[in-house]
A and B are shown apart, each in its own frame.
Chain A
Amino acid sequence: MPTPMPGTEGQNSGKVTRAHMQTDDDRLDGAWAPGEMAARVASFDWASTPLGPLDSWTPAMRTVVRALLASRFPMFLWAGPELLHIYNDAYAEVIGAKHPGAVGRPAAAVWAEIWDDVGPLAGQVMDRGETTWAEDLRLVMQRGGFAEETYFTFSYSPFHEDDGTVNGVFCAVTETTHRVVGERRLLAVEELAAALGEPTSVVEVARASVSALRRSGADLPVAALYLPADGQATLGASTDRSAFRPRLDPARLGPAGPPPGARRSWRPTTPTEILEYEDRPLACAELADPATQETLGWLVVGLNQQRPFDVGYRSFVDAVAARIADALITATAIETERRRFEALAELDRAKTAFFNNVSHEFRTPLTLLLGPLADALADVDHPLPDEQRERVEVAHRNGRRMVRLVDMLLDSARIDAGHLRPALEPTALGRLTADLASVFRSAFERSGVVLETQIEDAEVDVDAAMWETIVLNLLSNALKFTVAGSVTVRTERAGDTFRLIVRDTGVGIDPEEVDHVLDRFHRAVRRQGRSAEGSGIGLAVVKSLVELHDGTIAITSEVDEGTEVTVTLPGVRRNAAAAPPPRLALSTASSALLDEAASWVDLPPEGATGDGEHWPDRVLVVDDNADMRRYLVTLLGSQWEVRSARGGDEALTAVESWDPLVVVSDVMMPGLDGLELSRRLRSRPEHRRPLTLLVSARAGPGSTEDGMAAGADAYLGKPFTAVALRRRVEILVGRARDQRRAATAADWQALRAALGEAETLDEVVRVVHEHLVEVQRAAHTGLWLLDAGRRRMALVSAGGALPETTATFDDIPVDTPIPAGAATAGETVVVADLIACRRDFPSMVPALAAHGCQATGAAPVVRSDGVVIGALGVSWPAPLQDEQVTAAALESAAALVAGSVERVRSRDAERTVAEGLQDRLLRVDLRDCRAAVAVRYQPANRDLYVGGDWYDAFALDQGRVGLAVGDVVGHGVRAAATMAELRSAMAGVAMVDGRPESMLGILDRVARRRRDAAGTTVFYGVLEVEDRALSYVTAGHPPAVVAAPDGSVELLDDGRSWPLATRESDRPPWVGRTLLAGGRVLVLFTDGLVERRHESLDAGLDRLRLVLGDRAHLPTALLADEVVEALTGDGHDDDVALLALRLPGAGDRWFTDVVTSELESIPASRHRLAEWLRTLPLDDRARADVVLAIGEATTNAIEHGGGSLDRRLPVSIEACVDGPDLVATVQDRGGWQRLPESPHDEHRGRGLALMRAMVDDVALRAGRNGSCVVLRRRMTP
């Protein structure tokens, strides 16, 4: 005998055994097992069932029944062909309220609600004796008084009688509802948590959580998150936006305040308070921040009616609410932080802009201050007395210092604004540093401080000018704060990095100050130094410059021991041999710094070694006396490049071609004398104006005044000493440089500003051309851009009239040396004299010479990411004198152009997007609208951006048409997007409740949810086509107008309300009404049509009345054209949208018909037309002609513009008497680019030929909303 199995089965079998022992197996009227079901089965009146009384049951049946009754596992037997229900106690619990009624009843009756699911399974068992298996089968059963969602895992197996026949279904079943539903909910919470992983904003949390909950429809059929706004609960996101009310009183969603420490509290609610429609159980929770008790939002979820809202359900919803609340807390914190950061960034930008402006403002007066001071100091003829000189020197020195500080501020601001980028070049940085240090050597020697250098060279990618500033500032600081001892400059290479260490034995910095000395405007309270001067900006600039090189700067200091500054730069090149020797060309700022440093050690300033500018030191000597000329040339020739001229006229020519900095001229000369020469030169542009020094025997105060009055810059009386003359010229050369620098800077500033406003590539080129003409006397300017394959360049725009042969330059291969060479090589190329170089450029010279060009050049146009995208080419009418100057200027211009090209292109890209958007949006859907409609949209001339104007027309139910025109504030993609939202909201609302009075309130609510929508103006009307009645409302929009064929015009100015989202108003809007009978045309438009600057809206409306009155009889398409043309032909500031509509009918001078686009509708329409034509002064033949022409146009419109078979679009036929002419239009509403003329289509060709022959003029037009044929025929009575 086998060992009994442990566990429930063994116990059960024990019980069965016990039952067996307690009851007589063969007796059929006793209890078979303990328990309720055993008793019920035993006492059931089986005799009244097909199974018959218990005692008639077969032994097999009895055995099975006994076994199942004894089992604690839910089991049942559906006995006999009728499948009568016999089950045990465990199963009775599963079936709830069905017990005990199910006993002995047919399964199909007991399980009527799930019989579709399980009946076939049972059939499978009964018919074929197969065993079935179902796992987690979803069954919606009625066991608790409601349709309940349940899950079961079970197996149906055949119950075999002793003879092997199948006489029932045996089933062991497990209810898995709790597990299935529990897992589902767990998954939902996990998915939600994942979706809310990184909340970025409250709105995003709302969107993401609802979007995640959308997948939990089984547990949460609907879900919405309301967010607090202005004391209201505003719908943030929902699974069904149309169901939830957009704004609610928070009291409906939760208690006045959450209980302390609680994040949420569930509140039963009446669905109708929250849902616009539907009636389903909801649960609401207020989500609060437990720390602050602040309400973050409200979660509203729909409940699954097939599951009881029990503890499990409740805790699931709690978990969902908790996740969302957590995410909201995080998002709120992030948003707060972001706002704070944005505010700080804005503050910083403002500060930078302020410094920038201030610095510019300071520079001019300083320059004006320093000039006279320098003159006074340099004046040999009127030398300053010693006491005065000392004072003026102090003033001058400090003035220069101030210039330097201002420049630094400017640099600092530019660095902050990101405008300063290092021009990295491989540089022998050790050697450059040594050279820079040597500049300071004399100052150190005079001071008694030893300057030591320990140089290790390395080739590093740096911006040499920036490095100069870095080194000189550090050295100047070291000298400033070192009274005795030494300053050591060391450079070394450490792997990939380069280090500069400047160490001094100076006064040191207090420990608490060390960390701040690099901060801008922080000036350490330092001990005794050579100078108390210090702006606190030098080191900050150094730090910024180092950081621009991705380097670091570190400072260590000991009080009274000294300071060590270490600058570390990356970018050391491996092989240092190739680096060119550094060129030392100190910038003016650096010279000033040197001067300043020299002043600390009582050293007279040395002349700057060169100022790095491009203007050659040219002096033109003008004298009619040959001896004098020779003398002057000799005298000045040792120091400057000198040429001479024999008189004023010759001097002017020389100035034009040679461009000297200074002209030294005699006053008395035959012909053009010195005074007149000065006057003429004075009128030259600042950046090309030489300064004049007049030399005359007529000494004395009076003659000086004459000379100055004539515009001379300096005056020297004869006799003069050589030294005095040289001094004067020296001063003037310096001043001329300053002046040119300032003028050039101003020019660049102007160019930059003008380019900043350019909105098209044409404008960019025009602006830069004007600049180059002005500054460089250029003849032509062109911008070429590389094609995608970088094989050819296309001329995008040209400035300066190139003659007819421009085609030569339109599209050029990249191997053309100029301008393409500039783009391929990435270098600026200038050919100063084309004729001289004609052999080098055989192909190019003749073409350019043909346009009167004698010099040409091009500079690469380089995008900010370093990619060359094209070239800026320029040509000049005369050979160039100063290639270097020209090349530099051209390069700078190209750089500015590059920025503008990028900007314009990105703008173009945005515009394309916006236009595409608008194009799609402005297609009017009038499938079912039986009216003639024409729409026009015209963006503002001035602004290329697409605007927020829109029009719309949509068919509503029951022969009604919704019509709208609106204007969103602003332009561009955002406005277009806002417009799209309002427009779709409008169409959506119209479908549900198209009444005008409802529309505004709903639109207003929509607008309040979208920030940019506030202030939108709208005109909305509903037209009852049959009754011809229009009811309308206006939200801040100009009134629409209705014009009758007789010329009378009505303004639709009833029904006015405020622009959207601008006022709170509970009052329903007034609704205006009018009739569109008798050929009256309705014209909707946006304010761009009538509004002009400096003019009232009424004046514009009066103009519209006049224009419309004259044209009210015209077909809508022509009317729309002419009205827009007449009112905006002279330019308009704003976008214009217009919609004109006329209902079918016929009258004195007008005819309108709309045919649904079936061919069968053609004859009736033709007959209507013919009938109307009979009222006109036309003979039979002319009438037949017109009928045929319009018939052809109609057929064509139906066949080709009438949409597809399943989407027929109407065609409108309009005609009118226009003066002596009959004018007709046939308009379809198909897509555009479908002109009804195709050489491949003989049939259509014949139609067109007939049309052309039958009337005097046929015009075909394709537009966004379909094509239009315009026919015109003179009527001869």
Chain B
Amino acid sequence: MTAAPLTVELVAGRSGAARVEGEVDASNVARLATLTEGLAQDGRVTLVLDGLRYLDSAGFAFLIELAGRVDLRLVAGPGAVVRRAMDILALGELIPVFDQLDDAG
């Protein structure tokens, strides 16, 4: 019994940005919180979610909570697995969501 696979990788050359890959669910959302801690540069965090294969409401809850603390931007392209769920929950109304990392400014 292990937590879901998850890696958080800093994006080279982009301070405060990281790629989140693997799966996020209730079993490892705390780990995601740990891995993204201290990521903020000038209060901004950009998470690239294109490599996420699974993101459930526990993960969304974390993202929304994080957005309350930092200036959070999410990147998930139209082909991203998690994009559909983000759209259903209208996450874009709470957190800016961009198709590409470059758009996130």
State the A residues within 8 Å of B (CB). 1156, 1158-1164, 1166, 1181, 1184-1185, 1187-1188, 1191-1192, 1195, 1198-1199, 1242-1244, 1246-1247, 1249-1250, 1253-1254
Contact = CB atoms under 8 A, between A and B. Distances in A.
Given A1199-B26, A1249-B89, A1250-B88, A1191 B54 contact: yes
Contact of B26 (A1159, A1181, A1188, A1253): A1159
Contacts of A1247: 56-57
Interface string B67-89: 00000000000000100110011
B54 A1187 contact: yes
B54 A1195 contact: no
Most B Cβ at <10 Å: residue of A1184, A1188, A1199? A1188
B54 A1246 contact: no
A806 B10 CA distance: 71
B61 A1243 contact: yes
A1224 B84 CA distance: 21
Given A1160-B27, A1162-B27, 19 more contacts: A1156-B1, A1159-B25, A1159-B27, A1161-B27, A1162-B4, A1163-B3, A1163-B27, A1164-B1, A1184-B84, A1195-B58, A1198-B26, A1199-B26, A1242-B61, A1246-B89, A1247-B57, A1249-B88, A1249-B89, A1253-B85, A1254-B85
A1191 B56 contact: yes
Contacts of B50: none
A1195 B26 contact: yes
Contact of B23 (A1163, A1243, A1244): A1163
B49 to A, nearest CB: 14
A1195 B26 CA distance: 7
A1253 B88 contact: yes
B98 interface: no
A1163 B61 contact: no
A1188 B54 contact: yes
A802 B54 CA distance: 59
B2 interface: yes
A1187 B54 CA distance: 9
Nearest to A1162: B27
B5 to A, nearest CB: 8
B61 A1195 contact: no
A1191 B88 CA distance: 16
Contacts of A1187: 54
B26 A1246 contact: no
A207 B3 CA distance: 56
Contacts of B88: 1249-1250, 1253-1254
B61 A1191 contact: no
A1166 B60 CA distance: 18
A1249 B90 CA distance: 11
A1243 B54 contact: no
A1164 B56 contact: no
A1156 to B, nearest CB: 8
22 contacts: A1158-B1, A1159-B25, A1159-B26, A1160-B1, A1160-B3, A1161-B27, A1163-B3, A1163-B4, A1164-B1, A1166-B4, A1166-B54, A1187-B54, A1188-B56, A1191-B25, A1191-B56, A1192-B56, A1195-B58, A1243-B57, A1244-B57, A1246-B57, A1247-B57, A1250-B85
A1159 to B, nearest CB: 4
B81 to A, nearest CB: 6
Contacts of A1250: 56-57, 85, 88-89
A1160 B58 CA distance: 13
Interface of B: 1-5, 23, 25-28, 54, 56-58, 60-61, 81, 84-85, 88-89
A1195 B1 contact: no
A1140 to B, nearest CB: 27
Given A1191-B54, A1250-B56, A1162 B25 contact: yes
B56 to A, nearest CB: 5
B25 A1166 contact: yes
A1161 B89 contact: no
A1185 B84 contact: yes
Contacts of B5: 1163
Nearest to A1196: B57
Contacts of B4: 1162-1163, 1166
Nearest to A1248: B57
Given A1195-B26, A1246-B61, A1163 B2 contact: yes
B84 A1163 contact: no
A444 to B, nearest CB: 101
Contacts of A1160: 1-3, 27
A1242 to B, nearest CB: 8
Contacts of A1185: 84
Contact of A1246 (B23, B60, B81): B60
Contacts of B85: 1188, 1250, 1253-1254
A1243 B64 CA distance: 10
A814 to B, nearest CB: 53
Contacts of B3: 1160, 1163
Contacts of B54: 1166, 1184, 1187-1188, 1191
Given A1188-B85, A1191-B25, A1249-B89, A1164 B57 contact: no
Nearest to B55: A1188
Contacts of B89: 1246, 1249-1250
A1160 to B, nearest CB: 5
A1188 B57 CA distance: 9
A3 B27 CA distance: 94
A1195 B25 contact: yes
Contacts of A1249: 88-89
A1253 B88 CA distance: 7
Nearest to B89: A1246
Contacts of B58: 1195, 1243
Contact of A1164 (B2, B61, B81, B84): B2
A57 to B, nearest CB: 76
A1247 B85 CA distance: 10
B94 to A, nearest CB: 11
A517 B3 CA distance: 96
A1249 B86 CA distance: 11
Contacts of B84: 1181, 1184-1185
A1162 B26 contact: yes
| A-B CB proximity, top 4 nearest | A1163-B4, A1247-B57, A1159-B27, A1253-B88
A1245 to B, nearest CB: 9
Contacts of A1188: 54, 56, 85
A1243 B61 CA distance: 6
A1026 B17 CA distance: 48
A1253 B60 CA distance: 15
Nearest to A1247: B57
Contacts of A1253: 85, 88
A1246 B1 CA distance: 26
A1254 B1 CA distance: 27
Nearest to A1185: B84
B13 to A, nearest CB: 31
Contacts of A1254: 85, 88
Contacts of B1: 1156, 1158, 1160-1161, 1164
Contact of A1163 (B25, B57, B60, B81): B25
A425 to B, nearest CB: 75
B50 to A, nearest CB: 14
B56 A1195 contact: yes
A1254 B55 CA distance: 13
A1247 B25 CA distance: 12
A1159 B26 CA distance: 6
B86 to A, nearest CB: 10
A912 B86 CA distance: 49
B41 to A, nearest CB: 28
Contacts of A1156: 1
Contacts of B60: 1246
A1162 B23 CA distance: 11
A570 to B, nearest CB: 79
